[in-house]
């Protein structure tokens, strides 16, 4: 069974309904490591070597966060900038990075309903378009990006999404991730 790392970037997980439900859905699985960035680094002093070692130890990495200004949360962005370093997380000469071939899943939550994330909605774009930087970053780092992006809009479908996240972490997937 694959070792799964759930990297959570919520500033106050105890006050979150959606992110907390998603974490609670997988916390008890033996092959899943829940890594709460804000609990680990309340001072934003990231231990890069420890973070890279944690990534190296796992086969599937789930990046979970609420959407803040069409991006990740501040600590999560700092984590990306510091941990995804040239030569370790990505290369420019075509050689394999330390992350090459690891499966990656992006799981995001929003504070508004899904219809806000349509070309006709208030954001005038889909969540996939607004977060396309994730796809570019993960491809650069040579992850095997799994689809679909896990999305929770407002507080809708929190339990369904928590079940989906749990099912994604249960076993090693060779093909596309399930969509239900």
Long-range CB contact pairs, 72-77, < 8 A, 24+: 72/9, 73/9, 73/10, 73/11, 73/38, 74/11, 74/44, 75/9, 75/11, 75/37, 75/38, 75/41, 75/44, 76/7, 76/9, 76/37
Residue 54 has pLDDT above 80, yes or no: yes
Residue 158 has pLDDT above 60, yes or no: no
Residue 179 has pLDDT above 80, yes or no: no
125 neighbors 119 (Cβ within 8 angstroms): yes
Mean pLDDT for 64-68 is 92
Query: In whole angstroms, what is the distance from residue 67 CA to residue 92 CA?
Result: 29
Residue 99 has pLDDT above 90, yes or no: yes
Q: State yes or no: cis peptide before 26, omega within 30 of 0.
A: no
Mean pLDDT for 141-166 is 70
Residue 174 has pLDDT above 80, yes or no: no
Mean pLDDT for 75-87 is 98
Six-digit token string for 81: 């900038």
Angle at CA 82, nearest 5°, toward 76 and 85? 125
110 neighbors 152 (Cβ within 8 angstroms): yes
Mean pLDDT for 112-131 is 87
Kindly report the average pLDDT of the chain as a whole number: 86
Residue 156 has pLDDT above 60, yes or no: no
The residue whose two tokens read 């941990």 is 83
**pTM, to two decimals:** 0.86
């Amino acid at each position: 069974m694959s070792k799964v790392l759930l990297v959570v970037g919520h500033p106050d997980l105890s006050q979150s309904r959606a992110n907390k439900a998603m974490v609670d859905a997988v916390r008890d699985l033996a092959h899943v490591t829940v890594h709460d960035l804000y609990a680990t680094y309340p001072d934003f002093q990231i231990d890069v070597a420890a973070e890279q070692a944690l990534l190296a130890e796992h086969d599937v990495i789930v990046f979970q966060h609420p959407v803040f200004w069409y991006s990740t949360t501040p600590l999560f962005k700092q984590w990306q900038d510091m941990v995804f370093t040239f030569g370790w997380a990505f290369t420019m000469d075509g050689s394999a990075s330390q992350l090459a071939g690891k499966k990656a899943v992006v799981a995001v939550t929003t504070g508004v309903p899904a219809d806000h994330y349509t070309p006709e909605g208030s954001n005038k774009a889909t969540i996939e378009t607004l977060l396309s930087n994730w796809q570019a970053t993960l491809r650069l780092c040579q992850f095997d990006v799994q689809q679909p992006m896990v999305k929770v809009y407002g507080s809708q479908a929190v339990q369904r999404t928590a079940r989906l996240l749990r099912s994604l972490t249960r076993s090693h997937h060779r093909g596309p991730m399930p969509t239900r």
